[in-house]
Amino acid sequence: MTDTLQIDIHPIEKSRIDTIDFDNLIFGRSFSDHMLSVDYQNGEWQTPQIIPFGDITFSPAMMSLHYGQAIFEGMKAYKSESGEILVFRPEENWKRLNKSAERMCMPAVTEEIFMEGLSELLRLDSAWIPAKEGCSMYIRPFMFSTDGYVGVSPSKGYKFMIFTCPVGAYYTKPIRVRVETKYIRAAHGGVGFSKNAGNYGASLYPTKLATDAGYDQIIWTDASEHQYVEEAGTMNLLFVIDGKLVTAPTGDTILDGVTRKSVIQVARDFGMEVEERQLSIKELTEGITSGRVQEAFGAGTAAVIAPIATIGFDGVDYELPAQSANSFSRRVFTEIDNIKTGKIADTRGWVMTI
Ligand code: COI
């Protein structure tokens, strides 16, 4: 990567930062002053622009609105004690964005545009990166088709954008999740591995049914038998069973989560055995009852590490033991958080310093 990319910067006249209550950040409701915007036209990416965060205009026939050519990523940035901007594993997100792009017939974003656009944006809005414990700067890169055309085919024009939000916790307490056995998220050959907007749109109805019943989230099961754990609506799922870390293998139905792979790496570094294998709902529920399942938690950029308190299945609520200081989920959270915030050495090369 060279540092030669031209980026046109149009700074805001007056920052909105004074209007933000940094002590009461709600996830995803506050947006920093600027955003990155890059158009893809005539087969190539145009000069990236950094402009004030704000509304954009488009044709009512814009194809992404009709046929769902829209993909996104989620990343986080932190400020170290010495004031450096630290971004957690952005290369993984860049690679995954391009995997999603390929599946959705969209152009790849160059590493230069992604990394330099991101770095410049974060530099400009560095005052927005929260310093408070448990808070961070959530980064949302996304791409969508922009042609106004009603035929079903890949668009010729696209827009790649990044905006950022200072955020607090996504989940503020251990969550209640319900096993979904009617609706599906992804089938083999589909788009489950890609981070396309439609995957999340399709999750809303079954999630609403679960939240109406008093749960926070759902556990998706496999599309053919509804027997095996896949992932939750907002994160991957991991379990500690008989002292081993167990999680569903990524394939074409499961998102290859950056936090998931970081948790697996840290578990191995802690000397813990990791099993990436199918986990049946039967094994899970029987294991909670017998005590073999010691922990269940979600892992994602937004959710970070989200301990699960209850798993509902077939009208029964299975209660997990409360998280303790010694729980793996607590220890892995602390390890990853310390790396992200620069409190311990980044021996795995996970942090990009700006
Ligand atoms: C993330 O964790 O960054 C995600 O994209 C999940 C999102 C649905 C909040």
Read off the pLDDT of residues 329-340 as tens digits, 9 standing for 90 and up.
999 999 999 999
Q: Can you tell me which atom of ligand 1 is nearest the CA of 140?
A: 3
* CA 308 – ligand 1 centroid, Å: 17
Nearest CA to ligand 1 atom 3: 74
pTM comes to 0.95
Q: Any idea where the domains of the chain sit in the sequence?
A: 8-169, 175-339
Q: Whole-angstrom Cα distance, residue 24 to residue 319?
A: 30
Where does 175-339 sit in CATH, by number? 3.20.10.10
CB 118 within 8 A of CB 162: yes
CB 300 within 8 A of CB 235: yes
Distance from chain centroid for Cα 204: 16
Q: Whole-angstrom Cα distance, residue 122 to residue 115?
A: 10
Q: Whole-angstrom Cα distance, residue 209 to residue 225?
A: 20
In the structure, which protein residues have their CB atom closer than 6 angstroms to any atom of ligand 1? 74, 200, 234, 300-302
Where does 8-169 sit in CATH, by number? 3.30.470.10
CB 11 within 8 A of CB 36: no
pLDDT value, residue 288: 98
CB 12 within 8 A of CB 31: no
Q: Which two tokens stand for residue 55?
A: 């509304």
- Using DSSP, state whether 287 is helix, strand or coil: helix
Read off the pLDDT of residues 274-301 as tens digits, 9 standing for 90 and up.
999 999 999 999 999 999 999 999 999 9
pLDDT value, residue 169: 85
Q: Which of 137, 234, 261 to mutate to test the pocket of ligand 1 (most atoms within 8 A of CB)?
A: 234
Residue 3: band (very low, low, confident or very high) from pLDDT cuts 50, 70, 90: low
Mean pLDDT of all residues in 180-184: 96
Mean pLDDT of all residues in 250-260: 96
Q: Can you tell me which atom of ligand 1 is nearest the CA of 300?
A: 2
Nearest CA to ligand 1 atom 8: 234
Nearest CA to ligand 1 atom 6: 234
